[in-house]
Structure 1
Amino acid sequence: MEILRILNNNVVVALNDDQKEVVLMGNGLGFQKKPGFQVDKSRIEKVFEIKNQVESIRIEQMLSEIPEDVIAIAFDILNYAKKKLNKEFNETSFISFADHLHTAIQRAKKGIQMKNFLLWDIKRFFPEELAIARKGIQFVNEKMGIELSDDESGFLTLHIVNAEIDSTNEAAINLTQMIEEILTVIKYTLKINFAENDIYFQRFITHLRFFSERVLNARLDEIEEDAVENELFVLINKKYPEAFEATKKVVELLDTRWHYQASKDEQVYITIHIARIIEKTK
């Protein structure tokens, strides 16, 4: 691969074997190099494929403006997250993660703090990701000699969630809001308070998370027809009338608020989860 442009010592723009421009990141990739030199492939740690000229300009501008030490810290945090969560991340999410971290550091140096109003929900819905983000914030504070608040941990958590679901940061926020809305509907329909440390509630949150991702991504073409027989659907509804009443409210919410039609399969799973929570609460 031939180097086209050097952004800094660790980031270069190159022409790959398919004659397409890519942004490469790795320790010392651009050090003492010039356009026309061959890339040392053994040093490549990340590859950002460029889809169009607009994206190329955006990626190059952001990576050239972010200090190398911040890029290195962002890289370490996301690598740590990948290992702890045992998941592969969307590569382009690294750029928005590093950019947010750079902005947060600049704010902290100026004594500016931003309140994260989703922090309480983030603690409930993404505890693993939040724990990782907090470790990352602690690492940043030690390395940079600053004091980023726990609110910033929440913001970084959303970026980690965003990297997992391969979408935009808005999608991570929507995911949190959808889960909160569903829980609120269930809570007020049944007039109960959730025991949030209970295993049944935690399992329900896990189910809601994956379900909500599917709703937000509108992957209707990937959803098979109802596998649940109509008799079973009716039986579950009769066996758990309270839970099914709450499920109906959730279905209405999804239809009116998110324009999504829940299948019978999904309604059965939601009803069973709610029934377990009701039983445990009582």
Structure 2
Amino acid sequence: MEVLKVINNSFVSAYDTEGKEVVIMGKGIGFGTKPGKKIDEKIIEKIFRIEDSKEGTKFQELLRNLPMEHMRLTSDIIDYAKTKYGKHLNESIYIALTDHINFAIERYHKGMKFVNPLLMEVKQFYKSEYLIGDYAVQLIKKETGILFDESEAASIALHIVNAEYNTKMGEAMKITTMIQEILDKVKECFQFRLDEESLHYSRFVSHVKFLCQRIMKKELLNCMDEKIVEMVKENYPEEYDCSKKIGSFIHDKYDYEVTNEELMYLAIHIKRMRDASLEH
């Protein structure tokens, strides 16, 4: 490959074998070179492929004044998320997470402490993502000597969540809050303890998580025969009444309308979890 553009001493861009622009990382790879010169393959450390041209431009702008060590950290964290947990992440994660880690390190050196208000919710609802965040914190300590606390692990976890579900940070935080609010409403309706280690709880949280994402994206399910909805109302009246209360709460607080079909599915999941709690 030949150099297309020198970004800085540690990064250059080039065309791959398919004629697509890629960013290449390597110690000193951009030093003393220029467009058209052959790239020494022995010093190539990582090749980044950003398909979206606008995202690619942002990525290169971010790299210009970025220490290679910070990009290496991000790359290792993303590779870990993909290989250890099989995460399929939007390519924007390379920009968002690199920028976040770089800024977090800057804040640390300035003595600015950050507390994530959603720490407990992230640990509860996004367990694998939080474990990735914890891995990231340990990796940053190993490579830089900086020890971040759980709040930073949760913040990194939310960036993983964003890249998984194609949401923005504000949306991810709102969804996380909404999940907890829905669980609180279920507790209010039936006054039973939710077993957070049970399979039924895990299934319920997973359903609520995707429901909240559909609410935020305004992609709610709304194509089922109303007769089926009526059947659920008749068979599970208490659970459906609870789901209606949740729908009213979401409408009043967030100004989102929850469809009858979504309320029906929510009632079914509440029923399953409620039945499981009565068995113990």
Please classify the TM superposition score into its range, dividing by the shorter chain length. 0.7 to 0.9
Residue 225 of structure 1 is matched in structure 2 by 223
Q: Which amino acid aligns with 1:150?
A: E
Contact 1:133 1:154 (8 Å CA) reproduced: yes
Cα–Cα, structure 1 residues 231 and 218, in superposed 2: closer, same or farther, change >3 Å? Answer: closer
Instruction: Tell me how far 1:95 sits from its aligned partner.
Output: 1.3
Instruction: Map 1:25-44; keep pairs closer than 5 Å.
Output: 25-27=24-26, 30=30, 32-37=32-37
Residue 239 of structure 2 is matched in structure 1 by 243
Residue 266 of structure 1 is matched in structure 2 by 262
Q: Which moved more, 1:189-198 or 1:94-103?
A: 189-198
Residue 88 of structure 2 is matched in structure 1 by 88
Q: Please report the RMSD computed on the Cα atoms of aligned residues, expressed in angstroms.
A: 2.9
Instruction: Map 1:114-129; keep pairs closer than 5 Å.
Output: 114-129=114-129
3-state SS in 2 of match to 1:77: helix
Cα deviation, 1:223-282, whole Å, max 9, x if unaligned, reads 5622xx433322222222221111001222333444443334322221111112222334
Contact 2:50 2:56 (8 Å CA) reproduced: no
Residue 192 of structure 2 is matched in structure 1 by 192
Return the TM-score normalized by structure 1.
Answer: 0.84
Asked whether 1:24 is paired with 2:23, we answer yes
- Cα separation, 1, equivalents of 2:133 and 2:113: 17
Gaps of 5+ in 2: none
- Cα separation, 1, equivalents of 2:19 and 2:73: 31
- Cα separation, 2, equivalents of 1:92 and 1:38: 29
Contact 2:22 2:47 (8 Å CA) reproduced: no
Q: Which amino acid aligns with 1:186?
A: V
Cα–Cα, structure 1 residues 160 and 240, in superposed 2: closer, same or farther, change >3 Å? Answer: same
Give the alignment partner of residue 271 of structure 2, picking from 266, 275, 281.
275
Q: Which moved more, 1:248-257 or 1:116-125?
A: 248-257
Q: Which moved more, 1:177-186 or 1:1-10?
A: 1-10
Cα deviation, 1:189-213, whole Å, max 9, x if unaligned, reads 3333422222211110011112222
Cα–Cα, structure 1 residues 253 and 55, in superposed 2: closer, same or farther, change >3 Å? Answer: farther
Residue 158 of structure 1 is matched in structure 2 by 158
Instruction: Tell me how far 1:15 sits from its aligned partner.
Output: 6.5
Residue 7 of structure 1 is matched in structure 2 by 7
- Cα separation, 1, equivalents of 2:275 and 2:18: 60
Q: Which amino acid aligns with 1:125?
A: F
Instruction: Tell me how far 1:115 sits from its aligned partner.
Output: 1.0
How many residue pairs end up in the alignment? Answer: 275
Cα–Cα, structure 1 residues 4 and 211, in superposed 2: closer, same or farther, change >3 Å? Answer: same
3-state SS in 1 of match to 2:50: strand
- Overall identity of the aligned pairs, in %: 29
Cα deviation, 1:132-166, whole Å, max 9, x if unaligned, reads 11011111101111211111101101111111112
Q: Which amino acid aligns with 2:93?
A: S
Residue 147 of structure 1 is matched in structure 2 by 147
Cα deviation, 1:156-192, whole Å, max 9, x if unaligned, reads 0111111111232122112212212222222223333
Q: Which amino acid aligns with 1:166?
A: N
Contact 2:222 2:259 (8 Å CA) reproduced: no
Asked whether 1:100 is paired with 2:91, we answer no
Asked whether 1:65 is paired with 2:61, we answer no
- Cα separation, 1, equivalents of 2:210 and 2:11: 35
Residue 178 of structure 1 is matched in structure 2 by 178
- Cα separation, 2, equivalents of 1:219 and 1:231: 22
Return the TM-score normalized by structure 2.
Answer: 0.85
- Cα separation, 2, equivalents of 1:19 and 1:45: 14
Instruction: Tell me how far 1:215 sits from its aligned partner.
Output: 1.9
Contact 1:11 1:24 (8 Å CA) reproduced: yes
Residue 45 of structure 1 is matched in structure 2 by 47
3-state SS in 2 of match to 1:75: helix
Contact 2:179 2:209 (8 Å CA) reproduced: yes
3-state SS in 2 of match to 1:65: coil
- Cα separation, 2, equivalents of 1:55 and 1:79: 19
Cα deviation, 1:110-129, whole Å, max 9, x if unaligned, reads 44321111101111110111
- Cα separation, 2, equivalents of 1:32 and 1:204: 57
